[in-house]
Structure 1
Amino acid sequence: MIQRVQTIYLLLAAVLSGVLCLYVPFAIGSDGNPLFAIQKPMVIGMFIGSAILSLISIFLFKKRQLQFVLGRINILLNFILLGVFVYWSLTVSGETMVSEKGIGMLIPIISIVLLVIANKAIKKDEDLVKSVDRLR
């Protein structure tokens, strides 16, 4: 049953984390050039990890509990990524490496929202299956 509503949310989160992060700068450097996630191995690794977890979750539609747990792990990974971005933006003193925040710092926030909505839909499906099992 890939045609469920949480599949759309997980796919949007995967595209956001896997593709959009490559084209949207997360900061502007002290020299005025935009900084992309591909320039930082830790950041691109976390973005790609989030995208892979979302894609794996899509295809685990028969194992809803595992899908739910992977969604929570993905949310945690995005919170860690958001924490890295907040740390970088708060340690801007003078003209260090990152001088301005970019729109790419919002990608983890949007991804977290999509993953939370997907987890709510997964939980709703699990509750529906449990209620049908009670009737048998």
Structure 2
Amino acid sequence: MIQRIQSIYLFLVVLISGGLSNVLPYGLNQNGDDLLPQDNFLVLGMFSGSAILALVSIFLFKNRQLQFVLGRINILLNFILLGVFVYWSLTLSGETLVSEKGIGMLIPVISIVLLVIANKAIKKDENLVKSVDRLR
């Protein structure tokens, strides 16, 4: 049952959080160099954690409740990452570490949207299975 629609959404989260985040910068420093997650262990850990949670969640298709909970945890992790990015962008004092915002700051927002859609599909599957069990 890996071919379900939520698996596609979760795979997109894996691609975006695991792959695209390492290519797109989340900011520029005072020298004009791109800031990538490899430069900051906190950001790299959160992006990697999000990608790993989504990948594990893809293969938990037999346990929809755990898949749903992992999706919620992943959403929370992306909100924390988004909060870190917002905090960094709001506490800019002159030319500190991040002087410009990059397109990589939108990756948690895209991941959150995909995870919410995946969780809706997981919930829909769970309700379908419960309704079929009622008929037996």
Q: Can you list the C-alpha shifts for 1:32-78, whole angstroms capped at 9, x where unaligned?
A: 11101110001000000000000000000000000000000000000
Question: Who is 2:24 aligned against?
Answer: 24
CA–CA distance in 2 between the matches of 1:12 and 1:66?
19
Determine if the alignment matches structure 1 residue 59 to structure 2 residue 81: no
Question: Who is 2:38 aligned against?
Answer: 38
Unaligned runs of 5+ in 1: none
Provide the aligned length of Structure 1 versus Structure 2. Answer: 136
Unaligned runs of 5+ in 2: none
TM-score by length of 2: 0.99
Partner SS, residue 92 of structure 2: coil
Residue type of the alignment partner of 1:40: N
Question: Who is 2:121 aligned against?
Answer: 121
Residue type of the alignment partner of 2:34: P
Residue type of the alignment partner of 2:77: L
Determine if the alignment matches structure 1 residue 84 to structure 2 residue 80: no
The 5 A counterparts of 1:3-22 are 3-22=3-22
TM-score by length of 1: 0.99
Question: Who is 1:131 aligned against?
Answer: 131
Quote how far apart the aligned CAs of 1:16 are.
0.4
Quote how far apart the aligned CAs of 1:93 are.
1.2
Partner SS, residue 9 of structure 1: helix
Report the RMSD for the aligned CA atoms in angstroms.
Answer: 0.4
Quote how far apart the aligned CAs of 1:133 are.
0.3
Partner SS, residue 94 of structure 1: coil
Q: Identity, % of aligned pairs?
A: 74
